[in-house]
């Protein structure tokens, strides 16, 4: 028996569909992706930014088919196969791409070790503070819990935005901090429509940064339509994804 999340639109649409069509040929790097997934979009953005040759393969991660579990035992997208070897976890894939393709620019990590560490600190903040608050706000059913989630989200985003040099996190250089948060800037309209979220209420220039991120070419080229269909299940707290279950149980997002 399947889970309700299995019933998703089967492939990318809009600008992302064109990008998928350009990446059907076999390559050393196979990108296992779900068109709808913000974690996928992180790695996809890096592939597109750097112009790395890749073959796009659409996976429905809710089906947990054996061939996919062999690649990622966690059964989550994104995952890659690189020269026959498997790797998963969006940010780990992003860093792998940065290191495995040193001649492909832009470089998304600064060259100075201290600056690199600062970028990683912010990635940690996105994972531990911002994303859990985003999911909590999305899934909360009671008004007071939605409001509490929203305030946590504002606080997490505010702390991050405060450090933005502009127009991107490190200034002119587009970096992994931008990559890590951008897919949620693309999707925050869902919270605006259903949870009273306003970019302006974050402050510290988040609105301007979010606008810059969502309009960047690599984000536009990897964005589809139909996100509402996916997020409807989260908004009703019916989603059975690992992230949704973890959020419901007060656990860390896997």
Ligand X SMILES: N[C@@H](CCC(=O)N[C@@H](CS)C(=O)NCC(=O)O)C(=O)O
Q: In what order do the strands lie in the sheet with 29-33?
A: 55-58, 29-33, 79-82, 85-88
Q: How far is the CB of 155 from ligand X (least distance, A)?
A: 22
SS3 of 129-171: the string is HHHHHHHHHHHCCCHHHHHHHHHHHHHHHHHHHCCCCCCECCE
Length of the chain in residues, anyone? 254
Which positions are catalytic? 37
Q: How far is the CB of 86 from ligand X (least distance, A)?
A: 13
The gap from C-alpha 85 to its chain's centroid, in whole angstroms, comes to 23
Residues that bind ligand X (CB under 6 A): 34, 37, 39, 61-62, 75-78, 89-90, 241-243, 254
Q: How far apart are CA 237 and CA 232, in angstroms?
A: 8
Q: In this complex, which beta carbon is closest to ligand X, that of residue 11 or of residue 143?
A: 11
Q: In this complex, which beta carbon is closest to ligand X, that of residue 61 or of residue 156?
A: 61
Residues 100, 62, 185, 227, CA torsion sign: positive
Show the tokens assigned to 84.
Answer: 């026959």
Q: How far is the CB of 143 from ligand X (least distance, A)?
A: 27
Q: In this complex, which beta carbon is closest to ligand X, that of residue 124 or of residue 211?
A: 124
CB 138 within 8 A of CB 191: yes
Q: How far is the CB of 147 from ligand X (least distance, A)?
A: 25
Show the tokens assigned to 244.
Answer: 């949704």
Q: How far apart are CA 162 and CA 209, in angstroms?
A: 11
Q: How far is the CB of 175 from ligand X (least distance, A)?
A: 17
Q: In this complex, which beta carbon is closest to ligand X, that of residue 224 or of residue 241?
A: 241
Residues 6+ apart with CB under 8 A from 209: 161, 164, 166, 167, 168, 169, 185
Helices (H), 24-73: 38-50, 66-71
Q: In this complex, which beta carbon is closest to ligand X, that of residue 65 or of residue 193?
A: 65
């Amino acid at each position: 028996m399947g889970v309700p999340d299995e019933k998703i639109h089967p492939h990318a649409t809009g600008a992302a569909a064109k990008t998928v069509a350009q990446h059907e040929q076999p390559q050393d790097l196979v990108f296992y992706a779900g068109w709808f997934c913000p974690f996928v979009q992180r790695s996809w953005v890096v592939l597109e930014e750097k112009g790395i040759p890749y073959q796009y393969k659409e996976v429905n991660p809710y089906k947990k088919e054996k061939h996919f579990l062999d690649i990622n035992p966690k059964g989550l997208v994104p995952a890659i196969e690189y020269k026959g070897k498997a790797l998963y976890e969006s940010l780990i894939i992003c860093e792998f791409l940065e290191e495995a393709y040193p001649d492909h620019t832009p470089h998304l990590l600064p060259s100075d070790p201290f600056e690199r560490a600062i970028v990683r600190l912010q990635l940690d903040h996105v994972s531990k503070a911002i994303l859990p608050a985003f999911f909590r706000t999305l899934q909360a059913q009671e008004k007071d819990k939605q409001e509490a989630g929203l305030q946590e989200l504002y606080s997490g985003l505010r702390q991050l935005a405060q450090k933005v040099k502009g127009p991107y996190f490190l200034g002119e250089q587009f970096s992994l901090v931008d990559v890590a948060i951008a897919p949620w800037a693309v999707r925050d309209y869902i919270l605006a429509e259903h949870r009273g979220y306003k970019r302006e209420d974050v402050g510290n220039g988040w609105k301007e940064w979010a606008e810059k991120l969502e309009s960047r070419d690599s984000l536009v080229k990897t964005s589809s339509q139909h996100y509402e269909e996916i997020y409807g299940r989260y908004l009703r707290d019916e989603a059975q994804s690992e992230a949704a279950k973890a959020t419901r149980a007060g656990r860390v997002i896997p």
